[in-house]
Amino acid sequence: MHTQHDVQAMSTDDTTVYEAVAALATDGHAAHTADVVHMTGLPEETVRRSLAFLTENGWLKSRGGIYVLGPHDWEVDYR
């Protein structure tokens, strides 16, 4: 079942982490925590907290420590 998510519920850090995962996915790369930390410059604890929040709320899906985009209702264009 697809649920609609309110992107306004995301903090600035959550948005930054989400965008890093989306950018990695667009480039065909897996999003590992270390890669997101490197891309965002955020502390690892902040990234882990955001990844957990985004996963719990369905914006991301976790597969064995790799993060991918979950279903969403807005356009993401990283070209």
- For 25-68, write each residue's pLDDT tens digit: 887 788 999 999 999 999 999 999 999 999 999 999 998 889 99
**Domain 7-69 class in CATH:** mainly alpha
CA distance 28 to 50: 22
Read out DSSP for 6-47? Answer: -GGGS-HHHHHHHHHHHHHHHTT--EEHHHHHHHH---HHHH
Does the pTM of the predicted model rise above 0.85?
no
Domain ranges of the chain: 7-69
